[in-house]
Structure 1
Amino acid sequence: MLGIIVQIIVSWIILRIFVKKDLTALGIKPFGSRSLQFLIGFMFTAFLCASIQMIDAFLTNTNWEVSSKLTFIEGLNAFWLNVKGVLFEELIFRGALLVIIIHKFGAKIGILISGVAFGIYHWFSYGVLGDIGSMTVIFFITAMSGLVWAYAFSKTKSIALPIGLHLGWNFTINSIFSKGPWGEQILVPDKVEFVSNPILNLVVYFVLPFVVVPILTWLLIRLWGGRKIKFHTTQITK
């Protein structure tokens, strides 16, 4: 939590220095519409991720059961772990730095840099540096996600939708289906050794990114009219 507080303080400082803005440049107001954007993003990716896991369970004849170790407090802690992780990453890759890059170089450059940086970052967070095959797959998946989240920021002028999209996926895969770094969480498979269906893995890792992007684009256009965000020296306007 202390790290996130430090990130917020640093974000405020660099926004003041480079674009003469405060934290509202991250699109935290108005709270009503931003909360709705967050909720829509969360539900969108949570549903997508859960659907994939259910299809995988069907193809592999696997049943998911509530962990016998689960308590209410542990469930809340699982959610909080995901919230902290997502906030940490979003404040770096879709926060003040992205605002500044878009302000200086435009939305396309900002989105590209954010996506590429997000992919490279996961080489280190996943500990695969040096393994070319894993590096390639992880970069592709996470960079594509980073591009989507950055695009969502540029279209809505807010970090709310990217956080919702990111958290919906992470919480579902990490904690609901216990496939994250924290081990057994809410649901566990009824098989001791659970192996995902390879065909579904191919869809998830190589086809899904090209499905998510157009769906998200359509969703944004439908919800917010496809209005482009222009970042100016003195103000940010739609």
Structure 2
Amino acid sequence: MIGILVAIAISWLLLYFFEKQHILALGLLPVTKRIRQFLTGFLITGLLCIMAQYLEAFLRSGIWVLNENISGATIARSFWWDVRSVLTEELIFRGALLYILIRRIGTAKSILISAIAFGIYHWFSFGILGNIVAMILIFIGTGLMGYAWAWAFAKTRSIMLPFGFHLGWNFFYNTVFSKGPLGELLLVLQRAEELTDTTSLLNFLTGMILVPILVLLYVKYFVKAEAQAVPVGEDG
């Protein structure tokens, strides 16, 4: 919680120092509209995560089963952990810095910088620094997703849609499908075979390439650019 408060305070200071704005510049109002954007993003990536995880289960001839030892309190704690980690990352990569960059150097360059930074950040958060193949693959996958989420910020002029996208994926990935650092949670994959080179490639292409591309297509064709938003490819 302290980390989030620090990130909010730094964001506020940056916005005031560079743009004479406060934290509401990150698009927190109107509340009803922003909640709707958040929920839309959450549901989209949540459904995409379900698709990706059931494809993996199919490729590995496994089944997802309910963890009999799970409790509501454990799910709540895990969800809160997801919220804290996601909000912190959003404030860093799709918050004040992206807002300032868009105002100073234009939308297209700012989105690209945000995506590159997000991809590089995951080298460290995933602990793969030095593993060249893994670094390339993770950079492509997380960079594409970071690009989609930064574009969502630019079009809506709000952090709420990318926050929803990010939390939807992380909550289902970490808490529902037990793929995160917190261990076995709601669902557990059982009787699963090891992935072969071919099935591993298909699994990667689905989760790290197809999913970000689908989010990008949604942002491109279904997210309306709000007033003062600058189209990708133009400066503003």
TM-score (norm 2): 0.90
Q: Distance in 2 between matches of 1:18 and 1:205?
A: 35
Unaligned runs of 5+ in 1: 232-238
1:116 and 1:143 in contact (8 A); partners too:
yes
Residue in 1 aligned with 2:77?
Answer: 77
- The SS at the match of 2:158 is coil
Of 215, 218, 221, 1:215 maps to 218
Instruction: Say if 2:111 is the partner of 1:108.
Output: no
Q: Does residue 124 in structure 1 map to residue 116 in structure 2? A: no
Q: What fraction of aligned residue pairs are identical, expressed as a percent?
A: 44
Q: Number of residues paired by the alignment?
A: 227
> What residue identity is the alignment partner of 2:161?
L
CA distance in 1, matches of 2:229, 2:118: 23
Provide the residue aligned with 2:46 in structure 1.
Answer: 46
Deviates more, 1:209-218 or 1:95-104: 209-218
Q: 1:12 is matched with which residue?
A: 12
Q: 2:233 — aligned with what? A: none
* Superposition deviation, residue 95 in structure 1: 0.5
- The AA in structure 1 aligned to 2:177 is F
- Confirm whether residue 229 of structure 1 aligns to residue 228 of structure 2: yes
| Partner Cα distance (1:230, 1:216) in 2 | 13
Q: Which amino acid aligns with 1:59?
A: L
The letter of the residue matching 1:229 is Q
CA-to-aligned-CA distance 1:29-78 (integer Å, 9 cap, x gap): 11000000000000000001101212222333211111122001001011
Q: TM-score, normalized by length of structure 1?
A: 0.90
Alignment partner of 1:169 is 2:169: yes
Distance of 1:114 and 1:35 partners within structure 2: 24
Q: Which runs of 5+ in 2 are unaligned?
A: 231-236
Residue 128 of structure 1: SS of its match in structure 2?
Answer: coil
Equivalent-residue separation in structure 1 for 2:66 and 2:191 (angstroms): 13
User: Which stretch has the larger CA shift, 175-184 or 210-219?
Assistant: 210-219
Residue range with higher mean Cα deviation, 9-18 or 59-68: 59-68
